[in-house]
Structures are given as C-alpha cells and as structure tokens.
Chain A
Amino acid sequence: MYSPVTRGSGRTGWSPGFLVKLVLIALVDALGVYAVLAAWGAESWGILAAMVALLIVANWAYFSKRALPLKYILPGLAFLLVYQVYVVAYTGYVAFTNYGDGHNSTKEQAIEALLVQNERRVEGSPSSPLTVVSDGGTLGFAVVSPDGAVRAGTADQPLEPVDGASVDAGRITALPGYDVLEYAAVLERQQEVTKLRVPVSDDPNEGSVRTQDARTGYVFTSTLTYDEASDTMTDTATGVTYTPNDDGQFEAADGTTLPVGWRVLVGFDNFVTAFGDERYAGPFGKILVWTFAFAVLSVASTFLLGLFLAIAFNDARLRGRRIYRTLVILPYAIPGFLAALLWSGMLNRSYGFVNEVLLGGASIPWLTDPVLAKLAVLGVNLWLGFPYMFLICTGALQSLPTDVLEAAKIDGAGRWRTWRSITLPLLLVATAPLLISSFAFNFNNFTLIYMLTGGGPRFDDASVPLGHTDILISMVYSVSGLDGTAAKDYGLASALSIVIFVVVATISALAFRRTRSLEEIA
C-alpha cells in the first residue's frame, strides 16, 4: 500500500489530491467487486477474470510509485481494451464460426432447446393439482403429488420439495418462500402462465410441468431423447437417430437435420462464401468495386472543390472573405445523418425539391435508378465533404513557407510554374495524412448510404437484400441480420468486417509509409 510520507519535494501524502484518489479508487473497487460477484452468480467466468485483472492492475497502478505513466493511461486503456481491442479480436473469432440464426449457442443449450421445442403431453400422463406461485416476481408452479408432497419451481429452477405448505382440498393456500397468486392476478398474467414450463428435474429428458387452466398440471416430455453416452438424439416417435455433424447440427442418416444447432469453428467457410458462393460473390464483387469508386471519387471531388474555394478565398484583398468562409463551411457543422435524410427528401422522385423546383417538375429517379443513385450519393457527399477539405486546404495554404515562394519568384518562375512545382507539392504533403483518413472514413461511410438510399435500388437477384449503392459496411449490416430483414449470420458479417479492415489497413499503411507520417512518432 501507499504510505503517506513526506516526499523530498515537500508534498505531504495526505493531501486533498490523495484523498480524492482514495475516494475514487474506493468507488471503482466497490463497483468492481459488485461486478465480480455478479459475474460469479451468472457463471460468466471470462468477465469475472477480466474484472479481477482490471481491479488488481488499477489498485497497483494508483498505489505503487513505480507506475507513474500507467496512472494517466489506464482509464482510457481499460475502455480501449474492453470495447475496442477485445471486440476486434472477438470479431476475428466470430468470423471463423457459424454463429447466427440456428447456431446461436453452445451445444448444451442447443440440446436443451431441441428437447423443449419438441415437448408433447404424454398420452394419459397423470395430472396433478397445481397452484401458480411467484418467487419475487418470477412466476412458478407448485404441484401436489398423489402422496401429498408439495413441490415447487420456476422456469429456471426445477421442481423441488417444499416443506410446511398449507394444503386445503388439493389447493395450496400458503407456501414458505413463495407467494401464492390470487385468481385475479393469475388472470392478469394468463399468457405468461400458459407459456410457462417448469422442469421436472435437472435432466431435460424428464420433461416439464405445464398447465392450461392454472389449476391442473400435466407432465410434458420431449419426443426427442438425448443419450449422453453415445452423444446422439433419438426421435421416439419415428425411431430416427441423429448424430452431431461438423456443422454443429444433429444429422440423421438420410441427411435431414434438427432445426437448432450450435456454434462451431468452420475455418474459412465464411470467407469462401463471400468470395465463392454465387449468391454472395456476385453482389460482393460489385459492392467492393463501388466501395472503392465511392471512397476515391468522394475524396477527389471534395478535395478539388475545397482546394478551388480555398484558393479563391485566399487573397487578402477579397472583401468579405470571412463571411464567405463562414457560410461555406456550414454543411460541415450539420450532423451527417440530418444532411443525408434531408437530401433523401429533396431528391424524392415525385415530390422532392430538386425535381419539382430546380428542374421544373421533372421526374428523375435520383434514388431509384442504379446509375443516378450512385451519382446522387457522390453529389450529396460532395456537399457534405467539401467544407472540411476547404478548411484544411485554407490552413495548409496559409502556412506555406513564404521564403520558398520568394526564392521561386527570384529565380523567375511564373505564377503557374510556382503553383505547379512548389505550392501543390507542399500542399499535398501537408494534407496527405488527412486525405488518407478521409478515404478510410468514406470507405466506411455507413450513415450516408443507409440514410440516403438504404443501399438501393436492389440488385435484380433477390437472394440477398443488397443493392447498387451498398458499400461494404452497409453490406455487413444487412448480412448480420441485426436490422431484422434477413436471417442473422454473425459469422459471415464478421468475416466481411475483417476483409474491410484488411483493405483499409493495407491502403493506409502503404500511403502512410509513402508520406512518412510514421516518422512523426519520435
């Protein structure tokens, strides 16, 4: 622990700053311990280990004298590690799995889900009197066995004997540890009650208790049985045996599979799908080309317009140039999503401002024709992006070394020659890093595409929900299924994310190397 002693500098340890630190660390520790306990309860061992490690490092960093730089880096680093480094690594992992609809969980959970989904009421199974109870708000059932014993449980907690229940003519009136629900309360939550299933025991093969009328319980058991020893699923109705296959599903001899599977590593399958499967490879190729075209043309068009305006306004004799400059950068201060939505209305084919007013009632399908939609995307991005380029070009022009320009003049270079041989190269060197990051930004400019065209117009091939203006990142969003329009496929989406990362990182690294920006890190 930190010992509050007087340092050579004359500062005492028990300073207000130390007390503030103590309070903050105590707060962090308290929250951390709470999270550790909660992780223990939820059996999330990964989170538990991460929290413990984080707490130890935090306490060491702030109470040791040998970790001075870490004190300043740790807060940001902790967030960076969890929400960026970890998720990037996890994206890499998911890219090699078949995670998605039908493969959502572990094998144990898949087996349980299969057993539950195929539960039927056993013909002639005994019925028992049942009472709806609640355990701190969670609904549960209490049943009376023929021998008079009372057992109770909830959806997560299998039936267990409960002592000390008051039973009146088969009806339970009081139960220790549970609240007995009144009839009115049961009616209120009727849907929940009829959906509720309480497992008979820890073994999912034994089935569950369900009820229709909240008075009588029946035992439901699955038509499937799972045999742990042979790791097979058997359908008791048809007698077919299913064995696990490499894709994380139970498969019968004739090739039919059960609907719920589990996550398994599938190697490069997702990448093969992206590049090879005809449903994806065609759209993927077109989207890849368009993504490059969009990013390059966006950077080029905004840079040229911004540069032109910067030159036009870069003359001290121009009256009112401050006003021009302020008005011209207004689009930069408008949040991008507002601009994209606004333009999507203005470019509307039938009612939009552009067709109705500017083009005198023309009916040009700006957002629904493949070629025009691409032009519209580029045009709107030009409007959005040129002020930024204008700003950085203005800054770069104003900070050009005047001595070099004067030397050129003395050597007899004309305006054009000076511009081409001195101004432009210096300008490009100064703005290159920002052009690269602008390229990377536009490569992933999801908001613009999604809000302006939604990726549309759709490709004629209807097998995937993708369109002519989709860029890679909006393709990832569609493929992931998180917007609810397609089946979820986290594995393929993550694989595409990795492809985008490799593309952007390669281009950035090459470009940065050429502009020697990396040498800045001295």
Chain B
Amino acid sequence: MSPRTAHVPRRPGQRARWFSEIGWRHLVGVVAVVYAGFPLVYVVSASLADGGTLTGSNDLFASVSGANYAALADTRFWTWMANTLVVAVATGVGTVLMGAAAAYAFSRFRFSGRRVGLTALLIIQMFPQMLAFVAIFLLLISLGNVVPGLGLDSKLSLICVYLGGALGVNTFLMYGFFNTVPREIDEAAKIDGASHAQIYWTIVLRLTAPILAVVGLLSFISTFGEFIIARVLLQSEDNWTLAVGLYGWVSSLQDANWGLFTAGAVVSAVPVLALFLFLQKYIVGGLTAGSVKG
C-alpha cells in the first residue's frame, strides 16, 4: 500500500499531507482511547472515593481512600472471589485437556465416524448450554437425589456443567491448529518407539502450546463472567460466584452499595486484565488464526 518510509513534516504543504496520512490516525487513537478508557478511570476513582454512594463518585479522584477496599473484608466478597477462581481455573484446565485430546484424535487418527463426529460437534455447539438452563436445573435435581455433590448448589456440579460445553466450542479452534503441526514429527517419533500417549503428551501438546493458552484463557474468562447457569444452580450465598454476588449488590440498594461494588469490580477485573495483557499476543494470534481460514 503506502511506502514504508518515515515522513518528517517540515513545510506547511508537507504538514497537511502528514495529517491526511498519519495525523488523523493519532486523533482517532486519542478519541478511541478516551472512549475505551473513561469508564475504567471512573470505576477506579469511584472505588477510591470516601463515600460509598453513586452521587459521591462523580467527582473523579476528589478523595482517595482505601475504605471501600477494606470494607470488602466484612462481606462475602473474598469467598465469592475464591469460588469464582476455583470454578474458572478448574473449567479452564479441564476444557484444555478434554478439547486438546479430542482435537488430537480428530486430527491424527482416521476412524469411522470421524466426519460425522466433527459435523455433530459443529451442530451441537450451535445450541448454547445457557438455552437449556431449565433442563440443566431439572437434571441436577435428579442427580442430586443420587449423588448430592453433583446436585444443585454445588461448585463441583457447576464445573461439570461448564465442562459439558468444553468439546463443542473449542475443538474446532484446536483441531485447525493441530492440523498445522506436521504429521512427519509424529511419525519420526513413532519410528523411534514412542507410544501414542508419549507423542501426545510430549510432542503435540508442546508444539500446540499457544492455542492451548488461548483456549484455556478464553474459557477462564467466559467462565469468570458466566451468570445465568451459576445463578440458577448456586443457591446459598457461600457458594455464589462473583457474577451472582456482585449482581446482588447492585440490583438491591444500588446507591448504598456502589462503593463496595466498584472496589469489588476493580479487584475482580485486575487478575483477568493482567492475564489478558500478559498473554495478549497469543490471544490475538489465536483469534486471527480462527478468523483467517475461509
């Protein structure tokens, strides 16, 4: 497209040209950054405000105190945080293990039912689990009568439900990536006497680490923010996740809990944000790998 040499504006004519080619991009960039960032600045400011009300949060950084953060200790916030992390990490790890194993099988083995299996997965993933929350609720009532740990109001059963969706959504992303790893590597290892399990654990999984990170992280983030199933399944407050708990704060007595909510929002957004920025290049790569196929 345009020449890749740096232009330094010197004369007025060049300045106009600089603006039409580069300058406007800075303008757009600044506007976009303000648009994307101002709610985040606001939430940080509100969480540091002295009072805990909505009205008192509108003067940005008028007062700075840790009172809202300290007050979190008197609530169930940290319990919810722990619950959410347990559920999200377990789901993320489980999703990667199950999805990668299935993708490996579909990518490396030729067996009857393979095509049908792939097509079935594509169709099943069009029916999101959240649409079936009524049936999930009813299923867990029956399961709970048999094994209480798998019934309603249990973090374990929530993880199991989330893992039920592990195969549908992610297998394709991984399958495509696994196909890009040359089969010759497998075959060389096989000739050297490696078993299929050794090939899988020590070769394929290492070569596909970027996509595993992406799938794990996306699964972690979506589990972290999942609301409807968690809300239907988890009934006692001590088992709630952040999404269910923080919703309760804001929906009831919105004004009075605002300071607490913003502090909680900052605390719960920080780990996700940090992880996201840290693994950014993998995520961007993974998303675009998924996009640039057709």
> A230 to chain B: which residues have CB within 8 Å?
none
Residue of B nearest to A356 (CB): B58
Q: Which of B22, B32, B242, B265 has the most CB of A within 10 A?
A: B32
Are B98 and A75 in contact, CB atoms less than 8 angstroms apart?
yes
Chain B residues closer than 8 Å to A392, beta-carbon distance = 287-288, 291
> Which of B160, B196, B258 meets A83, CB within 8 Å?
B160
Which of B1, B122, B251, B258 has a CB less than 8 Å from the CB of A405?
A: B1
The CA-CA distance from A43 to B161 in the complex, in Å, is 23
CA of A336 to CA of B109 in the docked complex: distance in angstroms?
Answer: 38
> By the criterion CB–CB under 8 Å, are A518 and B102 in contact?
no
For chain B residues 185-225, which have a beta carbon within 8 Å of chain A?
A: 190, 193-198, 200, 221, 224-225
A10-B193, A454-B251, A494-B135 are known contacts. Are A47 and B146 too (CB-CB below 8 A)?
yes
Mask for A506-522, Cβ within 8 A of B = 1, else 0? 00110000011110110
A326 in contact with B291 (CB, 8 Å): no
Residues on B with C-beta less than 8 A from A348 are: 54, 254
Instruction: Assess whether A83 is in contact with B164, with CB atoms less than 8 Å apart.
Output: yes
User: Are A433 and B55 closer than 8 Å at their CB atoms?
Assistant: no
Total interface residues in chain A, CB < 8 Å: 119
Interface assignment of A476: CB less than 8 Å from any CB of chain B:
yes
* Interface presence of B163 (CB below 8 A): yes
Chain B contacts for A493, CB-based, 8 A: 134
Are A338 and B225 neighbours in the complex by a CB distance under 8 Å?
yes
Q: Is the CB of A476 within 8 A of B105?
A: no
Interface SS of B by simple majority: helix
Given that A80-B167, A395-B292, A447-B225 are known contacts, is A309 also in contact with B268, CB under 8 Å in the complex? no
Query: Nearest-CB distance from B253 to chain A (Å)?
Result: 12
Quick check: A391 and B227 within 8 Å, CB to CB?
no
A123 to B128, CA, bound (A): 57
In the complex, whether B61 has a CB less than 8 A from a CB of chain A is no
A300 within 8 Å of B (CB atoms): no
Contacts of A433 in B (CB 8 A): 290-291, 293-294
Chain A residues lying within 8 Å of B221, measured Cβ to Cβ, are 333, 335
Whether A395 lies near B291 (C-beta < 8 A) is yes
A46 to B273, CA, bound (A): 44
For A75, what are the chain B residues with a Cβ–Cβ distance below 8 Å? 97-98, 101
Q: Does A304 contact B (CB under 8 A)?
A: no
Q: Quick check: is B90 within 8 A (CB to CB) of the other chain?
A: no
- Partner pick for B288 among A39, A341, A391, A451, CB 8 A cutoff: A391
Q: A73-B102, A88-B132 are in contact. Are A515 and B294 (CB under 8 A)?
A: yes
Mark interface residues in A180-196 (1 if CB within 8 Å of B CB, else 0). 00000000000000000
Cβ contact within 8 Å between B124 and A11: no
Instruction: List the B side residues contacting A333 at CB < 8 Å.
Output: 221, 269, 272-273, 276-277
A449-480 near B? 1/0 per residue, CB < 8 Å = 01100100000000000000000010011001
**Which residues of chain A in 479-519 are interfacial with respect to chain B, using CB atoms and an 8 Å cutoff?**
480, 482-483, 490, 493-494, 497, 500-501, 504-505, 508-509, 515-518
| Cβ distance B50 to chain A, nearest Cβ, rounded Å | 16
Q: A477 vs B230: C-alpha distance in the bound complex, in angstroms?
A: 13
Known: A75-B98, A75-B101, A344-B250. A336 touches B54 (CB 8 A): no
Report which residue of B106, B142, B265, B276 has the largest number of chain A beta carbons within 10 angstroms of its beta carbon: B265
The interface residues of chain B lying within 8 Å CB-to-CB of A82 are 139, 160, 164
List, in ascending order, chain A residues with CB within 8 A of B291's CB.
392, 395-396, 430-431, 433-434
Known: A337-B227, A337-B247, A405-B1. A85 touches B124 (CB 8 A): yes
Please tell me which stretch of A149-157, A240-248, A271-279, A313-321 contacts chain B, meaning at least 4 of its Cβ atoms lie within 8 angstroms of it: A313-321
CB-contacts of A389-416 with B (<8 A): 391-392, 394-396, 398-399, 405, 415
A residues in contact with B130, CB < 8 Å: 444, 446, 473
Q: Are A90 and B26 in contact (CB under 8 A)?
A: no
Answer yes or no: A14 CB below 8 A from chain B CBs: no
CB distance from A191 to the nearest CB of B (A): 20
Q: How many contacts A-B (CB < 8 Å)?
A: 336
Complex formed: what's the CA distance from A99 to B272 in Å? 40
* CB 8 Å contact bits of B16-40 with A (1 = contact, 0 = none): 0000011011101100110111011
Let me know if B7 is at the binding interface, CB within 8 A: yes
Contact A353 B57 (CB under 8 A): yes
**Among B2, B246, B285, which residue has its beta carbon within 8 angstroms of that of A315?**
B2
CA–CA, A251 and B196, complex, Å: 65
Task: Please name the residue on chain A nearest to B139 by beta carbon.
Answer: A87
- The residue that B102 contacts in the complex, of A46, A72, A91, with Cβ under 8 A, is A72
Report if B138 contacts A (CB, 8 A): yes
> Most chain-B Cβ atoms within 10 A of its Cβ — which of A75, A343, A348, A388?
A75
B48 within 8 Å of A (CB atoms): no
A317 CB contact (under 8 Å) in B4, B28, B36: B4
Of the candidates A72, A324, A332, A504, the one having the most CB atoms from chain B within 10 angstroms of its own CB is: A72
Chain B residues near A11: list those with CB within 8 A. 193, 195
Chain B, interface residues (CB within 8 Å), range: 35 or more
Beta-carbon nearest neighbor of A519 in chain B: B294
> Which B residues are in CB contact (< 8 Å) with A315?
2, 21-22, 25
**Interface contact A430-B136, CB-CB below 8 Å:** no
Contact A44–B145 (Cβ < 8 Å):
yes
**Contact (Cβ within 8 A) B195 A476:** no
Q: Is the CB of A317 within 8 A of B145?
A: no
Complex Cα spacing A352 to B46, Å: 12
A17 part of interface (Cβ distance < 8 Å): yes
- Is B246 a contact partner of A337 (Cβ separation < 8 A)? yes
Q: Is B83 an interface residue (CB 8 A)?
A: no
Given A72-B105, A91-B135, do A450 and B196 touch, yes or no (CB 8 Å)?
Answer: no
Contact indicator A38/B147 (Cβ below 8 Å): yes
> Is B227's CB under 8 angstroms from A345's CB?
no
Q: Is B79 an interface residue (CB 8 A)?
A: no
Determine the distance from Cα of A312 to Cα of B26 in the docked complex, in whole angstroms: 8
A87-B136, A357-B58 known; 4 new pairs, CB 8 Å cut-off, are A44-B146, A82-B139, A88-B135, A518-B119
Interface residues, chain A, CB within 8 Å of chain B? 9-11, 17, 34-35, 38-39, 42, 44, 46-47, 68-73, 75-77, 79-80, 82-88, 90-91, 94, 99, 308-309, 312-313, 315-318, 320-321, 324, 326-339, 341-346, 348, 351-353, 356-357, 383, 387-388, 391-392, 394-396, 398-399, 405, 415, 418, 429-434, 440, 444, 446-447, 450-451, 454, 473, 476-477, 480, 482-483, 490, 493-494, 497, 500-501, 504-505, 508-509, 515-518, 520-521
25 pairs of residues in contact across A and B, judged by CB atoms under 8 Å:
A9-B190, A17-B195, A34-B147, A35-B146, A44-B146, A69-B105, A77-B102, A80-B166, A82-B139, A83-B160, A315-B25, A331-B39, A333-B272, A337-B227, A341-B247, A341-B265, A346-B42, A348-B254, A395-B287, A396-B291, A450-B228, A501-B127, A508-B126, A517-B293, A521-B115
The 7 closest A-B pairs by CB, nearest first: A83-B164, A395-B288, A76-B98, A335-B225, A333-B276, A72-B105, A351-B54
